Amino acid sequence: MRYISNTPPEKEEMLQAIGVEEVTDLFQAIPEEVKFERPFDIPAGLSELELKNLVTDKAEQNLDLSNFSSYLGAGSYDHYIPAIIDHMIVRSEFYTAYTPYQAELSQGTLQAMYEYQSMICELTGMGISNASLLDGASALGEAVIMARRHTRKEKVLLPETLHPSYREVAKTYGEPHGIDFKAIEQEGTVTDYASLAEEIDDDTAAVVIQYPNFYGSIEDMKKIAAEIDRAAKALLIVVANPIALGLLTPPGEFGADIVVGEGQPLGNATNYGGPNLGYMAIKDDRRLLRQLPGRLVGKTEDVEGNTGYVMTMQTREQHIRREKATSNICTNEALNALMAAIYMATMGKEGIGEVANLCYQKTAYLAEKLQNLAGVKVMNGDNYFNEIWLQIEKENLTAEEVQTQMCERDILAGVNLARLTDNKGLLVCVTEKKTRQELDDYVSNLEVVLDG
């Protein structure tokens, strides 16, 4: 095993110092009944070259996104990632460090997290951000539990326009805490506001709204916020795509209490869905802050009055509060949060808006072309950001067949909604990476498939 450097004479020296004959003597505490006596049924170790060849062979069985023009999104987005991000995060002082328990030797991680928290607040319009959670869906799970604790109420409204996997994860997290989830029907690509208004009452702990929603449309946040205001104590939890916030009004301005989401679009690759990062921001409220899960980095001073950063308010956390902690989370997604921070720093004040606008304009271009195409319908009308629900209206042609035939033309036409919902059609995502030519090709190929 090449990552062990003890040589036989060194081992001998160490065994002598300890006062035992053989290494196996150190394992005497393990009772005979449970000792594992045979070799593992695992292949023999490989050299670096052999490993590389083996993995390369496996990798070659994949068809990665570079083989296609991909319109897949639905929670994992293929945005352009500036080159500097990977160059920065391979600095091993970052990625081989652990949680910054010794602050004085971890100022790099800590300051980067403080900046991450600050930039998430700027983007969402919220007062406080934690230093990341595991992924967007589990961040929502944490948010609903937090709302349950904060309001001491049980009902949480989950519209059908929320990503189905997020709904499922929220239910998994909420169920043990007695949360009563109520589904709110959709009307077209948005929430049925009348049903929502009807369900909001004095027992409501929280209303969850995805922004833009799963089908790509932007909900009428003003209207929803007004309904929630009526039932004064319910919290508004917004699941927001951070890139969209370059173009859309930050949820803080609509009075969101908790904003969560998947931070992956900020400089992280799709990477088969992980590692991603969940982000969570809350309004500047001391009571809510005490309920916040996850690590927080704060600014402070050293004994000489110099600025420095530490993990703070740890009395919320499991290593101090144990069963009374606000969450069990320990390891988070620090390196992914660092990537998101570098992305936000690089794109800056103008860049995220520019990316968002590019996504919007290209989606609009494709949507308008598709609206004029016989045999399909854009369900969103003109209410979308970077995703649209495309329904196939041609007889005897399913979304799956369209998907398959487009795939043969090297186009991943979208996520089949049947995979996740009871609806039919494709969820088509367009990012700034698509050129006009590619969008035209999408349309012309789809036309052929529809005619076929």
Query: Which of the residues 53 through 82 are near other proteins (CB under 8 A)?
Result: 54-56, 58-66, 70, 72, 74-76, 78, 80, 82
Under DSSP, is residue 137 helix (H, G, I), strand (E, B) or coil?
Answer: helix
Q: Out of 187, 201, 302, 410, which residue is the one contacting other proteins (CB under 8 A)?
A: 302
Query: Which is closer to other proteins, CB of 39 or CB of 395?
Result: 39
Whether the link from the prior residue into 275 is cis, omega within 30° of 0, is yes
Enclosing H/E stretch for 367: helix 334-371
- Work out whether 39 is an interface residue with other proteins (CB under 8 A): yes
Query: Which is closer to other proteins, CB of 434 or CB of 451?
Result: 434
Query: Which is closer to other proteins, CB of 200 or CB of 247?
Result: 247
Under DSSP, is residue 429 helix (H, G, I), strand (E, B) or coil?
Answer: strand
Q: Out of 229, 230, 348, 452, which residue is the one contacting other proteins (CB under 8 A)?
A: 348
- Work out whether 372 is an interface residue with other proteins (CB under 8 A): no
Query: Which is closer to other proteins, CB of 271 or CB of 374?
Result: 271
- Work out whether 21 is an interface residue with other proteins (CB under 8 A): no
Query: Which is closer to other proteins, CB of 51 or CB of 183?
Result: 51
| Dihedral class, residue 305 (left if φ above 0, else alpha if ψ from -120 to 50, else beta) | left
Continuous H helices in 409-451:
436-451
Q: Which string of x and - marks every residue 382-411 that binds other proteins (by CB under 8 A)? A: xx-------------------x---x----
Contacts of 389 (CB under 8 A, 6+ apart): 189, 215, 216, 378, 379, 380, 417, 423, 425, 426, 427, 428
CB of 63 to other proteins, least distance (A): 4
Q: Out of 194, 198, 328, 448, which residue is the one contacting other proteins (CB under 8 A)?
A: 328
Q: Out of 165, 371, 391, 398, which residue is the one contacting other proteins (CB under 8 A)?
A: 165
CB of 69 to other proteins, least distance (A): 12
Query: Which is closer to other proteins, CB of 5 or CB of 451?
Result: 5
Q: How many residues bind other proteins (CB under 8 A)?
A: 206
Q: Out of 69, 138, 186, 195, which residue is the one contacting other proteins (CB under 8 A)?
A: 138
| DSSP symbol at 219 | P
How many Å apart are CA 212 and CA 264, to the nearest integer?
15
How many Å apart are CA 294 and CA 163, to the nearest integer?
23
- Work out whether 241 is an interface residue with other proteins (CB under 8 A): no
CB of 49 to other proteins, least distance (A): 10
- Work out whether 338 is an interface residue with other proteins (CB under 8 A): yes
Enclosing H/E stretch for 184: strand 180-184
Continuous H helices in 131-199:
136-151, 164-174, 193-199
Question: Tokens at residue 132, please?
Answer: 């990341």
How many Å apart are CA 383 and CA 190, to the nearest integer?
9
Query: Which is closer to other proteins, CB of 103 or CB of 233?
Result: 103
